[in-house]
Amino acid sequence: MSLSTLYNLFTEIIDIAIVWFMFYYILKLIKNNVKLVLIFKGVIIIVVLKILSDWMHLNTVGILLEYVIAWGPLALIIIFQPEIRTVLENLGRSQLLGRHKVLTVDEREKVVYEIMQAVEYFKKNRIGALMIIERDYSLQQYIEPAQKLYADISNELLISIFFPNNPLHDGAVIIQGDRITCAGSVLPTSMNPNISKRLGTRHRAALGISEITDAIAIMVSEETGRISIGLGGELNYNLTVDDARMILINELQPKKETFYDAEADLEEEIESEGETNEEAEEK
C-alpha cells in the first residue's frame, strides 16, 4: 500500500469522524433544549407531509410544502434567532479539556460538605436558595451582570447570601471550582410545557439552566423547604439530604477517576477469584 493511499484513507477517516461528531453534537443539543426539540419535530412533520403528498399526488399540498421547504430555513433563522445564538454560544463556551479547575478529593469533599451544610439549614428554616455549580460549559454570561464575590466556599457565606431581606437572596449563586464566583445571578427559566405549573421561579430557573448547560442546580423551596436538583434537563424533585449529597458526589467526580476505580475493582475481583480457586485446589 502506497503512502498516497494511506494518506487518502487517513483523510477519509478524519472526514467521517468530523461529520459524525457534528451529528452527535447537534443531536445532543437538540435533546437538551426543549425549543430545539419542537423545531426538530416540526421539520420531521413537514418532510413526512411532503413525502405523503408526492405519493398520493396531492398537488396543492405539495406546492404549498415546496414553498415552505424553500423559504423555511430563512424563516427559522429569523424566528428562532435567539435559540440559534444560544447553540452557537454553547459551542463557543464548551471546553474540550474539561472544567476550569479539576478539584482534588479534599476540595470536592469540602465543596459538597459546605453546600450540604447550607442546604440542611435552608431546609430546616424554609429559606429559598438556588446554587449553580459550573462544569464543562462556561456560565460567564450569567456571571458578568451579577454581583462578583470570588470568595472561598463556606456554608456561612451561602447562608448569609440567601438569608431573608438580603439584597442578593432572590438571585442564584454560581460556584466555580471551590469558590463562590457571584451572587444575585439571573438565570433563564425553563419553557418546557410539561413541567408542573405549581413549580415556582426557582424551580424553573434550576431546570432552565440545566437544559442549556451541563451545570448542577441545587434548589431549596422557600414555601416547603424541599430540595431539588436540576441536572441534564431534568428536575430531581423532593430529595432527601442524603440523596442530594450522593448526587453531588457522583456528578462532581471526574470521569477518569470513575474509570480508574472500576478497573481497580475489576482487578481486585480477579485476584479474589484467583485466591478462591487456589484454595479450592489445595483442598
Q: How confident is the model at residue 157 (pLDDT cuts 50, 70, 90)?
A: very high
Task: Calculate the CA 182 to chain-centre distance.
Answer: 20
Residue with the larger pLDDT of the pair 137 and 180: 180
Give per-residue pLDDT as tens, 230-270. Answer: 998 888 988 999 999 999 999 988 765 434 444 444 455 54
- Beta strands 227-231 and 216-220 are antiparallel
Q: What percent of the chain has pLDDT over 70?
A: 78
pTM of the model: 0.62
Which three cell numbers mark 272? 479474589
Largest CA distance in the chain: 85
Q: What is the mean pLDDT of residues 115-133?
A: 95
Give me the pLDDT at residue 172, please.
Answer: 94
Q: What is the mean pLDDT of residues 207-213?
A: 88
Residue with the larger pLDDT of the pair 282 and 17: 17
Q: May I ask the CATH architecture of the domain 105-252? A: 3-Layer(aba) Sandwich (3.40)
Q: How confident is the model at residue 176 (pLDDT cuts 50, 70, 90)?
A: very high
| Residue 77 identity (one-letter amino acid) | I
**pLDDT at residue 20 tops 60:** yes
| R_g of the chain, CA atoms, integer Å | 25
Which three cell numbers mark 179? 469558590
The rounded mean pLDDT for the chain is 80
Which three cell numbers mark 90? 454553547
Q: Which of 92-106, 153-167, 218-232 shows the lowest mean pLDDT across its residues?
A: 92-106
Q: How confident is the model at residue 105 (pLDDT cuts 50, 70, 90)?
A: confident
The conformational region for residue 225 under phi > 0 = left, psi -120 to 50 = alpha, else beta, is left
Residue with the larger pLDDT of the pair 269 and 115: 115
Q: What is the mean pLDDT of residues 175-186?
A: 93
Q: Which helix (H) or strand (E) holds 152?
A: strand 147-152
Q: Where are the domains of the chain?
A: 3-93, 105-252
Give per-residue pLDDT as tens, 55-100. Answer: 888 888 888 888 888 887 787 777 767 666 666 665 655 544 444 5
